Amino acid sequence: MTSGVFDGIWSHGQKLFAYDEGVTSGRSFLGFIEPSNLVADVVEARTRVGFVPNEEHRLIATPSETFPYGTETMIVCGTAKFEVLSVKEIYSGEKVSHRECMLLKAGEVESDA
């Protein structure tokens, strides 16, 4: 069962794409990505604009979005690419309100010129 606690916010989410290992086409969904470990001394370690080595992010996704266990999943947001490290269901009472994923920034998406 899913909870309607966050139903009003999903339309404001970013359009994201998930690519599961062994699947050639991605699926789109709405969610929110935010940095989870940016601190003052990390800024000095930046190798290029917008990229910090081992930069972790948190993804807040709809309760209906599932990420297959045991397969590698990549999330694409604009030109940024992230690897899914972990997924957990967050409950509101006995119902799932959303899913939280820890992501590792894996680089940038190559664009066709």
pLDDT value at position 44? Answer: 53
Block mean pLDDT (10 aa), the chain, length 113: 62 88 85 77 54 77 80 88 90 88 87 55
User: What are 22's two structure tokens?
Assistant: 């062994």
Q: Tell me if 4 is assigned to some domain.
A: no
Domain count, the chain: 1
In this prediction the pTM is 0.73
Domain of residue 50 covers 10-108
In 1-113, the DSSP E strands lie at: 14-20, 27-35, 56-61, 73-77, 80-92, 95-108
pLDDT value at position 68? Answer: 75
- Give the CATH number of the domain where residue 42 resides: 2.40.10
Q: Tell me if 1 is assigned to some domain.
A: no
pLDDT value at position 1? Answer: 46
pLDDT value at position 113? Answer: 46
Buried/exposed code over 12-42 (b: 16+ C-beta within 10 A; e: otherwise): ebeebbbbbeeeeeeeebbbbbeeeeeeeee
Q: Tell me if 2 is assigned to some domain.
A: no
